[in-house]
Structure 1
Amino acid sequence: MLISPAFAQTAPGGDAMGSLGAFLPLILIFVIFYFLLIRPQQKRMKEHKAMLEAIRRGDRIVTNGGIIGTVVKVQNDTEVSVEIADGVRVRVMRDMIANVLSKTEPVSGGGDGKGKPANEETAAAPAATGNDNGGAAGKLKSLLSGKKS
């Protein structure tokens, strides 16, 4: 006959290294993808969550819409009250805060909670120095008037 019979070739033995070699580029791409994209994004999300939990009254913030304001009251876990202009207050979802521009310092534990210092000696210290020209305002006034103290 003109056509010779075709014989089936036997498949090479189950080479485990050959199948692993086929998936090695995919595994390598996934590892690179994880370290360049997924892990930094998770780190940013964790930092943002910590920043949102640390928001307190007096902080200047920027919302996702670009509105800059000062936190007046932390309503609850999901809302804060923000003053965006004199007398204009809006409620903002805490998750919609993009950035904290400036943080307020925590109140010291020694005071009475009304902004007064814990001991009267530190409050009376500027007056006890004998310089009665009003501190920084007095220095500016004397500088502008030309008088030396």
Structure 2
Amino acid sequence: MSQQNMSLVLYFVVFFGIMYFLMIRPQQKQAKQRQALLNGMRVKDRVLTSGGIYGKITKVKDNSVMLQIADKVEIEVAKSGITSVENRDITAEDAKKNGKKNDKNDKNSKSDKNNQNDNGINLEKEDSQSNSKQENT
């Protein structure tokens, strides 16, 4: 083989290497993430369809899900029509790693919400008592 043919082959190898890392690999990674999203859907997840419909999953089937879009209104949507899961900020891999940690955080956040509600009620009672005292004078 001549030197020109070797350099031509080298250019093709470099070109395909660049194409792989700039185009093919990111698409494969994105496809894996999408498949993990579709396989990880659960009942009570809030999702967005490709048609722009928000709904809550009531039943998961093999190739479709049942979405509740209003009271007493359910529609069946193909899993491929789901574009995003709105109420989850973690991916399927993160859920496996941090499953126990998230449960503890959920318990703490629920107790914090209860404390906030109690404080709000106490403030309202104090406000109503101060208003009644001002009316009496």
Is TM > 0.5 for Structure 1 vs Structure 2? yes
Q: Which residue of 2 aligns with 1:141?
A: 121
Supply the distance in 2 between the matched residues of 1:36 and 1:46 (Cα, whole angstroms): 17
Kindly indicate whether residue 58 of structure 2 is the aligned counterpart of residue 72 of structure 1: yes
Q: CA deviation at 1:95?
A: 1.3
Kindly indicate whether residue 84 of structure 2 is the aligned counterpart of residue 99 of structure 1: yes
**Counterpart among 1, 4, 21 of residue 35 in structure 1:** 21
TM alignment of 1:43-82, pairs within 5 A:
43-74=29-60, 76-82=61-67
**Counterpart among 65, 69, 73 of residue 84 in structure 1:** 69
The one-letter code matched in structure 2 to 1:94 is K
The one-letter code matched in structure 2 to 1:73 is K
Q: CA deviation at 1:140?
A: 2.5
Report the aligned-residue RMSD: 2.5
Q: CA deviation at 1:83?
A: 1.0
Supply the distance in 1 between the matched residues of 2:126 and 2:83 (Cα, whole angstroms): 48
What is the aligned residue count? Answer: 105
Supply the distance in 1 between the matched residues of 2:122 and 2:7 (Cα, whole angstroms): 83
Query: Per the alignment, do residues 18 and 86 of structure 1 end up closer, same or farther by CA in structure 2, a change over 3 Å counting?
Result: same
CA deviation string 1:44-76 (max 9, x = no partner): 1011101111101000111112211110111x2
- Kindly indicate which of the two structures has a greater share of residues assigned to helix: 2
Normalising by structure 2, what TM-score?
A: 0.66
Supply the distance in 1 between the matched residues of 2:18 and 2:24 (Cα, whole angstroms): 10
Supply the distance in 1 between the matched residues of 2:11 and 2:67 (Cα, whole angstroms): 51
Normalising by structure 1, what TM-score?
A: 0.61
The one-letter code matched in structure 1 to 2:55 is G
> Identity percentage over the alignment?
34
Q: Which has the higher contact order (CA 8 A, sep 6+)?
A: 2
SS at match of 2:41: coil
Larger Rg: 1
Supply the distance in 2 between the matched residues of 1:135 and 1:24 (Cα, whole angstroms): 67
CA deviation string 1:4-55 (max 9, x = no partner): xxxxxxxxxx52x321212322222211111011001101101110111110
Q: CA deviation at 1:135?
A: 6.5
Unaligned runs of 5+ in 2: 89-110, 130-137
